[in-house]
Amino acid sequence: MSNAHMLPHYPEGTVRTLLTTDLVTEATRQALTDRLNAPLREPTFFSADDFALLDAVCNRLIPQDEQEKRIPVAEGIDERLSKNTTNGWRYDSMPNDGDAFKLGLKGINESALVIFQQPFLNLSGDQQDQILKAVQVMEAPGEVWQNLPADRFFEELLAEAVENYYSHPVAQEEIGYVGMADTPGWKRLGLNQLEDREPRMATD
Amino acid sequence: MPYKTSEIVDAVVIGTGAGGAPLLARLAQAGLKVVALEAGKQWNPAHDFPTDEKAQAKLFWNDERLSAGNDPIPFGSNNSGTGVGGSTLHYTAYTPRAQPDDLRIRTEFGVGEDWPFSFDQLEPYYDEVEQFLGVSGPSPYPWGPARKQAYALGPLPVNGAGQLMERGCKEVGIKTSPAANAALSAGYYQEGVGHRPACANRGFCQAGCNIGAKASMDVTYIPLAVHYGAEIRPECFVTQLVKSPAGILSEVVYMRNGQEERQRCRFVFLCAGTIETARLLLLNDLANSSGQVGRNVMAHPGLQIWGEFDEDIRPYKGIPGALISEDMHRPADADFVGGYLLQSIGVMPVTYVSQMARGRGLWGQDLKRAALAYNHVAGINILGDCLPYDHNYLELSDEKDIRGLPKPRIYFSNGESEERMTAHANKVMRAIWGAAGARNIWAFPRNAHVIGTCRMGNDASTAVVNANGQSFDIPNLYISDNSTFPSALSVNPALTIMALALRTADRFLEQWK
């Protein structure tokens, strides 16, 4: 048993099991099953190089190195930008989402070259984190950040990565969320009142 | 049966949310020929509303808006919806009433604006809307003037976040009560609408309710309107209001299936919400002799305080806003204008973690650890009054949307009053959470609910519409939505929008029928 399993965690497979029961509505089952079984997607918005960089950045923002099933975070961003859809608003100080992502990725690489004389992809995890931290607090060097507000870019990228990750049934299992299993309604609402189908945290 | 576009209908209502739907039902009930144009789709709750945040993003108004100013307002999931029912499809169904003094901010504080009528003009409509929606709530309600009628149903059960807020407030001496909420605590039947089932405590009120227990317009006023003969035309995006040589509106132009159509009519009711209502008027250069269209944008200070608790909370269960306190309506130590209310909040996981990423800037293993605490988190938030300022406004930008129309740009910066109020609330809520036993307390500053842009008033030089919602410039144009509020009020706006819509409809019927 690996070290990770000594930490408190929720049991695996809870959501996947619930999806096979009538505790979820057909509409919910379909939405989550489609997401769970989505085939891996080749990038259509980003170039192969940009996508590899975005993927590496996303993996620092939400590490999933040890995960058996990889949740497609960067793929989700590529898919949205390919469809040219938005979440309804953007900071006026930012260019449109597609341009912001392309510029921001360029900026991350530029900062890596200035600080470590290496492209971002060649850096160690810790070094990559240093670059990202610098971007987040607006201390990253490079020309791109003269024009693109680094903190806004970082915030938008992080929020979208997080939304893609935690929308996935496997990530929801990780945090013990089973709100999708709602067809019988919830009767035990109060503090420390759990229904049978709600997973308990364990340290085994 | 659908009306013909060549026919001159009595009224076209643009938008089917809290401002359009009640008014539509009232006009139809009075025997008028009415057509509602709705930009979004007609959804089927059981099939289209899965319990999944991402799948329900389709309910938000996702056409891009540009957010400017020092405190740029997020739109999309934070504000404004699309589909038959409008934003009520994804409102959390909080239905507190404004208090009488909310309507006279200028009289009491010397700044901001008074409403052009007093509370007693709204009160009967509050009663009516609450009974019609089947609002669940406590009786007597502990704050504000005594009610003539008890809430239609008893309060919904209080979830974990509500119980914690109750515990903390008791400790620090703040009075609380189960909140009033437009979700049904028991089955409810009404003529013209049918039977709606009791709330199943699904906790997913920030999206579409899949059983119709939450009183969104699509399961309440819209069926009533249709029952009385109104026609609902979904997926019709209005681009133009055509003025006749006589200076009144004669036709509404809209896009349906990529084609332009025109509906002839005698009256137009613009109910598209703060942003789209102002945008449409500016696009057509209408009703703006005062220069006030797009001005006075307001947004409620909506600071949230989150904490982690030892207790298992499971924040996805029960109505999100189970507990309320209006003790801060006019706090004795206030150094700001107006006041605010306190609400407990439950939350869905994607919303929570993404807010946390934005608010705390967490990422990497820190983020994953904090996300693992999801089942143990609970929040409190405020909703407070906001003053109108010259520096907060909407304008048309040079950037075009997918239809080739200019995207709106909205400037918003909190003023001194809003900042002081937020600081006050920050202290109060941290004290409550501290007393309740929270760890890792963090604040998420935000502004919720956009209000203003087409203010109502008695003076044609400073307001866009009169107290009846009628345009000063164009007598057969009415506005019924949150854009006409002269002040922001210290409560969630939906109930007041509906009450005001019924008043506007009645005033219109008295004058014209």
B70 touches A at CB < 8 Å: no
Q: Which amino acid is at B89?
A: L
CA dihedral B19, B25, B26, B28 (to 10 degrees): 130
Average of per-residue pLDDT across A55-76: 90
Q: How far apart are the C-alpha atoms of B140 and B151, rounded to whole Å?
A: 9
Per-residue pLDDT of chain B (513 residues; tens, 9 = 90+): 699 999 999 999 999 999 999 999 999 999 999 999 999 999 999 999 999 999 999 999 999 999 999 999 999 887 788 999 999 999 999 999 999 999 999 999 999 999 999 999 999 999 999 999 999 999 999 999 999 999 999 999 999 999 999 999 999 999 999 999 999 999 999 999 999 999 999 999 999 999 999 999 999 999 999 999 999 999 999 999 999 999 999 999 999 999 999 999 999 999 999 999 999 999 999 999 999 999 999 999 999 999 999 999 999 999 999 999 999 999 999 999 999 999 999 999 999 999 999 999 999 999 999 999 999 999 999 999 999 999 999 999 999 998 999 999 999 999 999 999 999 999 999 999 999 999 999 999 999 999 999 999 999 999 999 999 999 999 999 999 999 999 999 999 999 999 999 999 999 999 986
Q: Which of A92, A152, A168 to mutate to test the interface with B (most CBs of B within 10 A)?
A: A92
User: Which of A96, A174, A185 has the CB atom closest to B202's CB atom?
Assistant: A185
Q: Tell me if B331 is assigned to some domain.
A: yes
User: Which of A30, A89, A184 has the CB atom closest to B74's CB atom?
Assistant: A89
What residue of A is the nearest CA neighbor of B355? A159
What residue of B is the nearest CA neighbor of A172? B349
What residue of B is the nearest CA neighbor of A125? B364
Q: For B218-247, give one letter per residue: b (16+ CB within 10 A) or e.
A: bbbbbbbbbebebbbbbbbbbebbebeeee
Kindly determine whether residue B318 and residue A189, on different chains, have CB atoms separated by under 8 Å.
yes
B359 touches A at CB < 8 Å: no
Whether the pLDDT of residue A3 is over 60: the answer is no
Residues of chain B with Cβ-Cβ distance to A96 below 8 Å are: 64
User: Which of A87, A136, A190 has the CB atom closest to B361's CB atom?
Assistant: A136
Q: How far apart are the C-alpha atoms of B81 and B170, rounded to whole Å?
A: 37
Whether the pLDDT of residue A4 is over 60: the answer is no
pTM: 0.97
Residues of chain B with Cβ-Cβ distance to A136 below 8 Å are: 361, 363
Q: Are B140 and B134 in contact (CB under 8 A)?
A: no
pLDDT in tens, A97-129: 999 999 999 999 999 999 999 999 999 999 999
Whether the pLDDT of residue A1 is over 50: the answer is no
Q: Which of B164, B354, B362, B447 to mutate to test the interface with A (most CBs of A within 10 A)?
A: B354
Burial of B72 (0-12, 13-18, 19+ CB in 10 A): buried
Q: Tell me if B61 is assigned to some domain.
A: no
What does the pLDDT read at residue B513? Answer: 67
User: Which of A8, A159, A189 has the CB atom closest to B354's CB atom?
Assistant: A159
Distance from CA of A48 to the nearest CA of B (A): 24
Q: Tell me if B55 is assigned to some domain.
A: no
Q: Tell me if B336 is assigned to some domain.
A: yes
Whether the pLDDT of residue A186 is over 60: the answer is yes
Q: Tell me if B69 is assigned to some domain.
A: no
B317 touches A at CB < 8 Å: yes
Q: Are B447 and B381 in contact (CB under 8 A)?
A: no
Q: Is the dihedral of CA B56, B59, B65, B68 positive or negative?
A: negative
B347 touches A at CB < 8 Å: no
Q: Which of B314, B365, B367 to mutate to test the interface with A (most CBs of A within 10 A)?
A: B314
Distance from CA of A202 to the nearest CA of B (A): 12
Q: Tell me if B2 is assigned to some domain.
A: no
Kindly determine whether residue B354 and residue A87, on different chains, have CB atoms separated by under 8 Å.
no
Kindly determine whether residue A60 and residue B210, on different chains, have CB atoms separated by under 8 Å.
no
| Nearest alpha-carbon partner for B181 in B96, B124, B98 | B96
What does the pLDDT read at residue B440? Answer: 96
Domain with B139 in it: what CATH number?
3.50.50.60
Boundaries of domain holding B134: 9-46+75-512
Residues of chain A with Cβ-Cβ distance to B313 below 8 Å are: 191
Q: Tell me if B350 is assigned to some domain.
A: yes
HEC states along A131-169? HHHHHHCCCCCCCHHHHCCHHHHHHHHHHHHHHHHHCCH
User: Which of B57, B75, B200 has the CB atom closest to A89's CB atom?
Assistant: B75
| Nearest alpha-carbon partner for B492 in B362, B340, B355, B374 | B340
Q: Are B270 and B240 in contact (CB under 8 A)?
A: no
Q: Tell me if B65 is assigned to some domain.
A: no
- Number of domains, chain B: 1
CA dihedral B244, B247, B248, B252 (to 10 degrees): 50
Q: Are B213 and B65 in contact (CB under 8 A)?
A: no
What does the pLDDT read at residue A67? Answer: 66
The residue with greater pLDDT, B62 or A131, is A131
Chain B, 389 to 418: residues with Cβ < 8 Å from chain A are 409
What residue of B is the nearest CA neighbor of A136? B361
Residues of chain B with Cβ-Cβ distance to A90 below 8 Å are: 64-67
Q: How far apart are the C-alpha atoms of B420 and B427, rounded to whole Å?
A: 11
Q: How far apart are the C-alpha atoms of A147 and A95, rounded to whole Å?
A: 10
**Chain A to chain B, count of Cβ pairs less than 8 Å apart?**
182
Q: What percent of chain A has pLDDT over 90?
A: 90
Residues of chain A with Cβ-Cβ distance to B62 below 8 Å are: 85-88
What residue of A is the nearest CA neighbor of B310? A192
Question: How far are the Cα atoms of A41, B50, B188, B426 from residue A174, in angstroms, in the given order?
Answer: 24, 21, 39, 31
Q: Which of B43, B51, B181 to mutate to test the interface with A (most CBs of A within 10 A)?
A: B51
Q: How far apart are the C-alpha atoms of A119 and B123, rounded to whole Å?
A: 66
Distance from CA of B215 to the nearest CA of A (A): 18
